[in-house]
Amino acid sequence: MKENEMRLIAIGDIHGQADMLYRLLNVVSPRPEDQFVFLGDYIDRGKDSYGVIEQLIQFKKDFPRTVFIRGNHDQLLLDALAELKIRRDLSLRDISREYADYSLVSDLDMFLNNGGNETLRSYHLRDMGKFPREHIAFLEETELVWRYENFIFVHAGIEPDMPLEKQDPYTLLWERHVLSLSPS
């Protein structure tokens, strides 16, 4: 590989592991000509979701071409914030019939039961109304799908034989075992 040749680098499922993200980026040594795509799940489970989002916001400033895909855990936080009227936007259950049928508990409970408590601990928050606006804006600006040349990037799955613009957001964010029903 030539020194100034662009690298396409995809990184997924950081899950609040700020120290691991820092070490990985040091090994990769990002260059201005690189195209980075982060595949979501920036928060939950790990001990430093706050630190991950801070790193990614700075990374976006340093490498503005970087693409950030939304993961299901990121969506869970956004949905909980919408349910609590902290942000004004539709939740996944509002835009996906499949998710609305699947999720029987509140959006806040879904967030808290899927690693949200660890996220809130890393932010030192008990009141989600104090969640940093810059971090909410970062997550709101993430993409559900991104195409680069012959590659399609999503967090989870894609329904085969369906145009990208008609994909159910639930599939893009959650579904890992999508099978084609068409003959091969």
| Mean pLDDT, residues 133-151 | 97
**Helix axis angle, 72-83 relative to 133-140, nearest 10°?**
120
pLDDT in tens, 93-128: 999 988 877 778 999 999 999 999 999 999 999 899
CATH dotted code for 8-173: 3.60.21.10
pLDDT in tens, 153-167: 999 999 988 999 999
pLDDT > 70 fraction of the chain, expressed in percent and rounded: 95
pTM for the predicted model, two decimal places: 0.93
Which has more confidence, 157 or 1? 157
Which residues touch 80 (CB under 8 Å, ≥6 apart)? 107, 108, 110, 111, 112, 116, 128
On whether the CB atoms of residues 19 and 29 are closer than 8 A, the answer is no
pLDDT in tens, 50-73: 999 999 999 999 999 999 999 999
Beta-bridge partner residues of 11: 38
Q: What does the domain layout of the chain look like in residue ranges?
A: 8-173
